[in-house]
Amino acid sequence: MTSVKPDIDGLLAAARGRAAEPSADLLTRVLADAYALQPAAPMAPVAARPAARPRWAGLLALFGGGAGLAGLVTAGVAGLMIGLLQPAPVSAFTGAMTGVLGGAVAPLETVELIPSFDGWQGEDSDG
């Protein structure tokens, strides 16, 4: 029994030579289906123009609103009070830190702003 085998190489060469393009009828049907399933574009509402804000409102927003501006003013006034009026506890603290005792001023290099850990340890207990 003899079987007839098609020439595969010939069939593939013929298929390569032909361009596979869809028919115009197929493209028309596919596009019609796509347009039918596509939702309609929503209409965007026209935004009303915001009311003009006064300049001070923009400045207030720059500092974080009323609370932020109030904190900034409070800190500024407190800094001026401490700097200009020099309350007694502040004067005593600055005198102790700079070494102004009896009119003698210690050089700036001798002022110890960060104390050593030895002062916190206390006395050694050998047990």
What's residue 123's pLDDT? 62
What pLDDT, in 10s, does the model give residues 6-61? 788 888 888 887 877 888 999 999 999 999 988 888 888 888 887 887 888 888 88
Least Cα distance to 99 among 110, 89, 90, 88 occurs for 110
Amino acid letter for position 5: K
Across 96-103, average pLDDT: 61
CA distances to 17, 29, 30, 78, 116 from 24, rounded to whole Å, are 21, 9, 10, 83, 90
Domain range annotation of the chain: 63-91
